[in-house]
Amino acid sequence: MFARNAVVLLSLCASVALAANLKVDAAKSTVAATFRQMGVPVDAKFNKVAAQIDYDAAKPENAKASVDIDVASFDLGDPDYNSEVRKKEWFNAAQFPKASFASTKIRPAGAGKLEVSGKLTLKGKTADVSFPMTVKKEGAAQIFEGSLPIRRLAFGIGEGEWKDTSIVADEVVIKFRVLSQ
pTM of the shown model: 0.84
Q: Is 165 exposed, middle or buried (0-12, 13-18, 19+ CB in 10 A)?
A: middle
Among 36, 33, 18, smallest CA distance to 101 is for 18
Among 59, 121, 119, 111, smallest CA distance to 91 is for 121
Tens-level pLDDT at each residue, the chain (181 residues) = 544 444 444 443 433 333 337 888 888 888 999 999 999 999 999 999 988 899 988 899 999 999 999 999 999 999 999 999 999 999 999 999 999 999 999 999 999 999 999 999 999 999 999 999 999 998 888 999 999 999 999 999 999 988 989 999 999 999 999 988 7
Among 80, 100, 88, 77, smallest CA distance to 9 is for 100
Q: What domains does the chain contain, in order, with CATH numbers?
A: 2-179 (2.40.128.110)
Distance CA 83, CA 86 (A): 5
Q: Does residue 86 come out as left (phi exceeding 0), alpha (psi in the -120 to 50 range) or beta?
A: alpha
pLDDT of 124-166, one tens digit each? 999 999 999 999 998 888 999 999 999 999 999 999 988 989 9
